[in-house]
Amino acid sequence: MQGNNTLFYRSFAEKFEQQLNLEISRRQNPKVFIVSDIRVQELAKRLNMDVSNLRRQCQKHYQKSPKALIDIYRIRKARKLLSKGIRPSVIAAQLGFYEHKTFSTVFKRHVGIAPSEFIKSHCAFDV
């Protein structure tokens, strides 16, 4: 029975991350340019489960809520994009934050510094 749980976990984790990647990719497409938050309800629907089941699975496998996982995943991507010199306002839209201010707040909560400070301390630009 242990093997089935491991298989389900791997399957769920892979599907969850794959769907997050897809949602972010949709927002980065310049032809579509979707500026909207990634919602738990939308993610659950795309994973063919209800919100309650998605919450249970995320708690069981990650010990975090779906919203927390979405934020962690987006901030991880944001750090990489900021390191490449992409402006925070562009990143906010690409990663599905409805407002730049929301992105900055979430980034600071997870990283400890604002995106602008992250750029200053982690990027070397020739000026």
Measured distance CA(72)–CA(23) in Å, rounded = 14
The helices-and-strands tally (H runs, E runs) of the chain is: 7, 0
- pLDDT value for 15: 87
Is a pLDDT exceeding 50 seen at residue 111? yes
Measured distance CA(44)–CA(24) in Å, rounded = 15
Is a pLDDT exceeding 60 seen at residue 8? no
Residue type, 122: H
Which residue segments constitute the domains of the chain, with CATH numbers given?
A: 2-122 (1.10.10.60)
DSSP 63: S
36-76: pLDDT as tens digits:
677 899 889 989 999 999 999 999 888 999 999 989 989 99
Q: Across all residues in the chain, what is the average pLDDT? A: 82
- pLDDT value for 107: 96
DSSP 49: S
- pLDDT value for 54: 94
- pLDDT value for 32: 53
In sequence order, the 6+-apart residues with CB closer than 8 A to the CB of 40 are 51, 54, 55, 66, 67, 70
Q: Is 67 exposed, middle or buried (0-12, 13-18, 19+ CB in 10 A)?
A: middle
Residue 63 near residue 95, CB atoms below 8 Å: no
